[in-house]
Structure 1
């Protein structure tokens, strides 16, 4: 797969890649850094979802909006990353790693992959780990080129709701999609017209499902012009995007997602199954 790399493939190419640890717990913002300090893939660097892959939360824009690009670029330059770098990102469930994957695609980076199975698979296959902090390399220069075709804002979402050739896809759990369970936001439900493809439905035993299984999941989207993935804060949606873009080039992410949509009281929501 072009967007994912197996543990064995990574083991064979350790000297040729920049490895980024993106572990994170939505309920504990210090979890990722703590886990990295305790143990991580040998040679990897830590990047933080909230500090590096998201900007400051405001009234609108979602709970994890885009970071300031200059700040993000400074971060990856500090890690010695250039446009020619081969990058592998990992976490524990491939969700925050997928947000990092999408961010690199958004700035025009070609060679970036998600570790299939994440850190648990690395441990299972006896990959080398350490508690030693990886020393920073020489600071690089990164000339980024924003790919606006991968990003959707709230105005485009409103257009998508009435455009029959564009489909919104909700990537949170089916229960949250139906409004039966909502731990983060005051209004349970989903964006009007959105279909449900839970990001966890793309995985089996912590790894990406087979090509045949994934094609079956995405079959109902075949005839649509564009696909817009959303979730709560634009994180889970990135995993759906990463998997979908294995096969198709018309996927986009609504980074503001449900947290942005519900920040406008006038926006309607649905709790019915629209699949």
Structure 2
């Protein structure tokens, strides 16, 4: 698969790859850096989901809006990343890593992959780990070009609700989709007309499912001209986007997602199954 790399392939090509640790806990913002300092893939650099891959939370825009691009570019330049760098991102369940994958695609970076199975698979297969913080190389210069075709604003989401050519996909758990539980936001439910494809349904034993299984999951979207992935704050949606883009090029991510949608009191929500 073009967007994922196995542990064995990473081991074989490690010297030519920039490896980024994106481990994160949605309920504990300090978790990622803490466990990185305890142990990480040897030679990897830490990227923080909240500080590096998201901007300041405001009234609208969602819980994890896009960061200022100049700040994100400054961060990767400090890691010596250039337009030609081969990048592998990893975490523990491939969700936060997918947000990093999407961010690199958004700035037009070609060669970026997610470590299939993440850190648990690396440990399982005896990959080298370290407790030492990786020394940063010399700063690079990164020239980027925003790829607007994989990003969608709330105004376009409203248009999608009325369009038969666009499918909205809710990537949080089915229970949250139905409004049976909502641990993070004030209003349970989902954006009207959204179908449910839980990001966890794309994985099996912590790794991406087979091509056959994935195509079966996505086949009901074949008649849609564009697909918009949404979740709570544009994290789980990035995993659905990454897997979907293995096969199709018409996927977009609503980064503001449900947390942005419900920040407007007039926006309707649904708690029924629309699949």
Matched, 1:213 2:213: yes
For 1:12-23, list aligned pairs within 5 A.
12-23=12-23
For residues 270 and 26 of structure 1, the distance between their equivalents in structure 2, rounded to whole angstroms, comes to 24
- Displacement of 1:123 after TM fit? 0.2
Aligned to 1:2: 2
Aligned to 1:174: 174
TM-score (norm 1): 1.00
- Displacement of 1:98 after TM fit? 0.1
- Displacement of 1:223 after TM fit? 1.1
For 1:15-94, list aligned pairs within 5 A.
15-94=15-94
Task: Output one character per residue of 1:197-232: Cα deviation in whole Å (capped at 9) or x when no partner.
Answer: 000000000000000000000000011100000000
For 1:1-275, list aligned pairs within 5 A.
1-275=1-275
For residues 16 and 162 of structure 1, the distance between their equivalents in structure 2, rounded to whole angstroms, comes to 47
Note the residue ranges of structure 1 that are not aligned, 5 or more in a row: none
For residues 57 and 132 of structure 2, the distance between their equivalents in structure 1, rounded to whole angstroms, comes to 33
SS in structure 2 of the partner of residue 152 of structure 1? coil
Note the residue ranges of structure 2 that are not aligned, 5 or more in a row: none
Report the number of matched residues: 275
Task: Output one character per residue of 1:151-190: Cα deviation in whole Å (capped at 9) or x when no partner.
Answer: 0010000000001000000000000000001001111000
Task: Output one character per residue of 1:237-265: Cα deviation in whole Å (capped at 9) or x when no partner.
Answer: 00000000000000000000000000000
- Displacement of 1:84 after TM fit? 0.3
SS in structure 1 of the partner of residue 227 of structure 2? strand
For residues 166 and 2 of structure 2, the distance between their equivalents in structure 1, rounded to whole angstroms, comes to 25
RMSD: 0.3
For residues 67 and 256 of structure 1, the distance between their equivalents in structure 2, rounded to whole angstroms, comes to 12
- Displacement of 1:37 after TM fit? 0.3
Structure 1 segments of 4+ aligned residues over 3 angstroms from their partners: none
- Displacement of 1:95 after TM fit? 0.2
SS in structure 2 of the partner of residue 186 of structure 1? coil
For residues 137 and 251 of structure 1, the distance between their equivalents in structure 2, rounded to whole angstroms, comes to 35
- Displacement of 1:125 after TM fit? 0.3
